[in-house]
Chain A
Amino acid sequence: GEDVEQSLFLSVREGDSSVINCTYTDSSSTYLYWYKQEPGAGLQLLTYIFSNMDMKQDQRLTVLLNKKDKHLSLRIADTQTGDSAIYFCAESLYSSASKIIFGSGTRLSIRP
């Protein structure tokens, strides 16, 4: 079945690294995504990784994919107050490429 799970909350100190974790159940994922949603706003695609990749880095963002354990993580280096938001892990499947399945979202809060 299709299921994407994340922890609900994460609190980090400004300047530290944030690591947000996600697990998924369907092994036929094509792409895995990280979206950011600030309060009252739409979703912003931060980054995505194709299912045959292990790692993708984009400036302060590093995505790690462990296909064996069906585990995806997003590391944000040097976390800033502007990184406060809800982060959604998501996947799309070979069987339905148009459909994105979202996790429940992790609320990241930054403390000074």
Chain B
Amino acid sequence: DTEVTQTPKHLVMGMTNKKSLKCEQHMGHRAMYWYKQKAKKPPELMFVYSYEKLSINESVPSRFSPECPNSSLLNLHLHALQPEDSALYLCASSSRPDSSYEQYFGPGTRLTVT
């Protein structure tokens, strides 16, 4: 099983809402990643979790709050987002933090903030 799953597939939320994005992998990977991809742009790294601990935060605003409850799950909690946060949010995993050459990506959650 080389699959990374993400739910929901689509999400529409207002600026006052609180919602969460979920990501799951069962490959035994110990590094998990959140990326943001705006339309017609490349993905941009947001967070890296290494062995369930946050190891990289690319200066992401605090309205995005990541959580890694266990080695298979990665959440991204959203609160008080802005319309410019509308994007495709991609989750990825790799066996180790230094094995970026085998990052597997999920299909993404397309987020629209109204």
Contacts and interface: CB of A to CB of B under 8 A. Distances in A.
Q: Do A and B bind each other?
A: yes
Interface of A: 31, 33, 35, 40-45, 48, 50, 88, 90, 92, 96-100, 102-105
Chain B contact-residue range equals 20 to 34
Interface string B88-114: 001010000111111111111010000
A47 B3 CA distance: 17
Given A98-B56, A100-B45, A102-B43, A42 B107 contact: yes
Contact of B42 (A42, A97, A99, A105): A105
Given A99-B45, A104-B41, A43 B105 contact: yes
A42 B106 contact: yes
Q: Is the interface of A mostly helix, strand, loop or mixed?
A: strand
B55 interface: yes
Nearest to B48: A98
Contacts of A33: 101
Contacts of A48: 101
A42 B55 CA distance: 23
A88 B37 CA distance: 13
A63 to B, nearest CB: 13
A40 B90 CA distance: 11
Contacts of B104: 45
Contacts of B56: 96, 98-99
B31 interface: yes
